[in-house]
Amino acid sequence: MVDKIEKLLEEKYKEEEFQDCFTVAVKLNTPTRMEIFIDCDNGLTLRKCQRISRYLETYIEENNWMPEQYSIDVSSPGIGRPLTLLRQYKNNIGRKIEITPVEGKKMEGNLVGVEGENVLIEMKVRVEGKKKKEPKTFEIPFQGIKKGVIKISFK
């Protein structure tokens, strides 16, 4: 079922209005409840979520893929959920991020860019011989990231 939904979404993304959209995750939580997390390069709107939900419901009901009483939730992954695609990192440039590398310690700083397959994070680090921390940019290969989470900043 998840594969069928993912294929339907790929077809929907070919439409002009949805070409900037991409699937983050499709989860069938129970036989009657499905969660679909999508994102868009230009921002996900409620209208896009509604239109995608109705589009999927049509196919689900026509093909009896789920029981008569079911729920389908289409939304963005939201703050706090791990970033799973390099494309999501691009969408969050300028935000505070916590990255757990496959090897090494957690890193927290500002997501300043994505170059090729690498994520750039700026962190304040202590420089030898100086009292004050200074910003330094670190380049982390996307494949070397175990987990990346956007942090909420209340400044």
Q: Output the six-digit token pair for 148.
A: 């990346």
Instruction: Output the tens digit of pLDDT for each of the chain's 155 residues.
Output: 899 999 999 999 999 999 999 999 999 999 999 999 999 998 899 999 999 999 999 999 999 999 989 999 999 988 788 999 999 999 999 999 999 999 989 999 999 999 999 999 999 998 888 888 999 999 999 999 999 999 987 76
Give CA–CA dist 116/32, Å, rounded.
40
Give the rounded distance of the alpha carbon of 30 from its chain centre: 22
In-domain check, residue 134: yes
155 within a domain of the structure (yes/no): no
Q: Within 13 Å and on the Cβ side, how many CA atoms surround 16?
A: 0
Co-location of 70 and 132 in the same domain = no
Structure tokens at 56: 């999927």
What is the CATH classification number for the domain harbouring 31?
Answer: 3.30.300.70
Residue 69: which domain range? 2-75
Distance CA 54, CA 30 (A): 20
Place of tokens 């699937």: 23
* Model confidence, pTM: 0.80
